[in-house]
Chains A and B, each alone.
Chain A
Amino acid sequence: MADLQPGLAAPPPVAAEAITTQQRNQARMAARRFLRHRLAVTSLVLFVLVVAFAFLGPLLWSYDHTVDRAIPASTPPSMAHPFGTTTAGQDVMGQVMRGTQQSLKVALTVALISTTVGSLWGAVAGLYGGWVDNLMMRFVDVILVVPLLVLVTAMAGNVRGGTSWWAVALVISAFIWTGTSRVVRGVVLSLREQEFIEACRAMGASNSRIVLRHLIPNAAGPIIVAGTLAVAFAILAEAALSFLGFGIQPPDTSLGLLIENARAAPFTRPWLFYPPGVFIVLIALTINFVGDGMRDALDPRQTMTRR
Chain B
Amino acid sequence: MAVYTMRRLLAAIPVLLAASVLCFLLIDLSGDPLGDLRVAQPPVDPAVIASEEVRMYLDRSVPQRYLLWMTGIGGNGDIGLLQGKFGPSVRGPAFDIGAEIGARFLITLRLVVIALMMAIGLAIVSGVISAVKQYSTVDYLLTFTGFLALAMPAFWIGALIKEGGVWANRELGTGFATIGAASADTRGFTAWESFTDAAAHLFLPTLALMLTGYAALSRYQRASMLEVLNSDYVRLARAKGVRNRVVIRRHALRTALIPLTTVSALVIAGTIDGAIIIERIFQWRGLGDFFLESVSTNDSYSVMGWLMLSGIIVVTANLVADLLYGVLDPRIRYG
Against B, the Cβ 8 Å flags (1 = close, 0 = not) of A230-271 are: 001000100110011110000000001001100111110000
- Are B277 and A150 in touch, CB under 8 angstroms? no
- Are A157 and B295 in touch, CB under 8 angstroms? yes
**Is B164 in the interface zone, CB < 8 Å from A?**
yes
- Are A243 and B277 in touch, CB under 8 angstroms? yes
Contact A232-B151, Cβ < 8 Å, known A145-B15, A264-B163, A266-B159: yes
- Are B269 and A143 in touch, CB under 8 angstroms? no
Closest to A235 in B: B153
Minimum C-beta distance from A39 to chain B (A): 10
A143–B18 alpha-carbon span in the complex (Å): 9
Chain B residues, CB < 8 A from A306: none
**Is A284 in the interface zone, CB < 8 Å from B?**
yes
User: Among A208-216, A273-281, A295-303, which stretch is in contact with chain B?
Assistant: A273-281
Minimum C-beta distance from B76 to chain A (A): 25
Chain B residues, CB < 8 A from A289: 147
- Are A285 and B276 in touch, CB under 8 angstroms? no
Against B, the Cβ 8 Å flags (1 = close, 0 = not) of A188-223 are: 000000000000000000000000000000000000
Contact A267-B166, Cβ < 8 Å, known A158-B30, A244-B280, A280-B153: yes
A259–B280 alpha-carbon span in the complex (Å): 14
- Are B148 and A281 in touch, CB under 8 angstroms? yes
- Are A145 and B164 in touch, CB under 8 angstroms? no
- Are B277 and A273 in touch, CB under 8 angstroms? no
**Is A148 in the interface zone, CB < 8 Å from B?**
yes
Chain B residues, CB < 8 A from A244: 276-277, 280, 292
**Is B303 in the interface zone, CB < 8 Å from A?**
yes
* Complex interface residues of chain B between 250 and 266 (CB less than 8 A to chain A): none
Contact A288-B156, Cβ < 8 Å, known A146-B314, A157-B296: no
- Are A145 and B16 in touch, CB under 8 angstroms? yes
- Are B30 and A155 in touch, CB under 8 angstroms? yes
Question: For chain A, which range describes its interface: under 10, 10 to 19, 20 to 34, or 35 or more residues?
Answer: 35 or more
- Are A239 and B307 in touch, CB under 8 angstroms? no
Which of A139, A142, A160, A259 has a CB less than 8 Å from the CB of B153?
A259
Closest to A284 in B: B151
Which of B159, B167, B315 has a CB less than 8 Å from the CB of A273?
B159
- Are A266 and B160 in touch, CB under 8 angstroms? yes
Chain B residues, CB < 8 A from A246: 295-296
**Is B298 in the interface zone, CB < 8 Å from A?**
yes
A141–B270 alpha-carbon span in the complex (Å): 16
Chain A residues, CB < 8 A from B35: 160
Which of A159, A245, A256, A288 has a CB less than 8 Å from the CB of B296?
A245
Chain B residues, CB < 8 A from A148: 269, 273
A239–B295 alpha-carbon span in the complex (Å): 17
A284–B10 alpha-carbon span in the complex (Å): 40
Among B30, B154, B159, B270, which residue has the most Cβ atoms of chain A within 10 A?
Answer: B159
- Are B26 and A151 in touch, CB under 8 angstroms? yes
Chain A residues, CB < 8 A from B291: 150, 153
Minimum C-beta distance from A105 to chain B (A): 18
Chain A residues, CB < 8 A from B311: 145-146
Chain B residues, CB < 8 A from A263: 155, 159, 163, 281
A139–B18 alpha-carbon span in the complex (Å): 8
10 A-B Cβ contacts within 8 A? A142-B19, A143-B22, A145-B315, A146-B310, A154-B27, A158-B31, A160-B35, A243-B155, A256-B153, A259-B155
A contact residues vs B (CB 8 Å cutoff): 138-139, 141-151, 153-155, 157-160, 232, 236, 239-240, 243-246, 256, 259-260, 263-267, 273, 277, 280-281, 284-285, 288-289
Q: A154-B295, A244-B280 are in contact. List 6 more A-B contacts (CB 8 A).
A: A144-B269, A145-B16, A148-B269, A158-B295, A256-B153, A266-B160
3 interchain residue pairs of minimum CB distance: A158-B31, A157-B295, A284-B151
